[in-house]
Amino acid sequence: MRHAGFVLVGGNSTRMGRDKALLDYRGRALAAHVAEPVRDAAGSVRLIGPPERYAGLGYEVIPDIEPGCGPLGGIRTALTVSEAEWNLVVACDMPSLSSEFLRGLLVEAEQSEADALMPSSPAGLAEPLCAVYRRNCLSAVEAALRDGRRKTSDGFRGMRLIRRDTPVATWFENMNTPEEWDGHLKTHG
């Protein structure tokens, strides 16, 4: 298996006030909408989060190895259960991503000598929750979590990381508050 896809759905959604992964987006749950281009690009998709909350979405749901570790914990779980060399990991709240863009990330990662490929928004911000990770990143991620570091960027210290500039800011537009969600629906709904 060359690559696998994962969507992180286990967040608390505290600023949203309700579960982002289950928000209705174009007639289905937001997580299911995001899972489609991930599956199309990677050839498979599994959700990382509590199975009791997301089993009804129609995808295999893998529980976090250690709940409460944030997105870095979700990446750890994905890399632990994956049998693939390259793993596409995407947050559940990026509905504007396309399978073509995600497939391009996988191809570029596979052709590189890097451990991970992380796109950057037009503003230059790294997007670790829309990235491709080689399975060997697992040891660095586990070390960060063992040391109590939960910031996503802390999990990739010392690894060969490629940053890819991307021209479209809306690909990474995520919704963390009801106002951001309403704004997205008005613009892209």
Domain layout of the chain by residue ranges: 3-188
pLDDT of residue 79: 97
Of 73-77, 111-115, 155-159, where does mean pLDDT reach its minimum?
155-159
pLDDT at 16 over 60: no
What stretch of H or E contains 119? strand 116-120
Burial of 50 (0-12, 13-18, 19+ CB in 10 A): middle
Length of the chain counted residue by residue: 189
pLDDT of residue 185: 65
Q: How confident is the model at residue 167 (pLDDT cuts 50, 70, 90)?
A: confident
Mean per-residue pLDDT over the chain, rounded: 88
pLDDT at 181 over 70: no
pLDDT of residue 5: 98
CATH number for region 3-188:
3.90.550.10
pLDDT of residue 53: 93
Mean predicted confidence (pLDDT) in 41-45: 97
pLDDT of residue 20: 85
Note the maximum CA span of the chain.
42
pLDDT of residue 178: 60
Mean predicted confidence (pLDDT) in 134-146: 94
pLDDT tens digit sequence for 72-81: 999 999 999 9
**Which phi-psi region, left, alpha or beta, contains residue 101 (left: φ > 0; alpha: ψ -120 to 50)?**
alpha
Q: Which residue has the higher pLDDT, 31 or 167?
A: 31
pLDDT of residue 182: 67
pLDDT at 14 over 70: no
Sheet with 61-62, edge to edge strand ranges: 61-62, 46-48, 3-8, 86-91, 130-134, 116-120, 161-165
The answer to whether 90 and 130 are in contact (CB under 8 A) is: yes
Q: Which residue has the higher pLDDT, 106 or 155?
A: 106
Portion of the chain with pLDDT greater than 70, in percent: 85
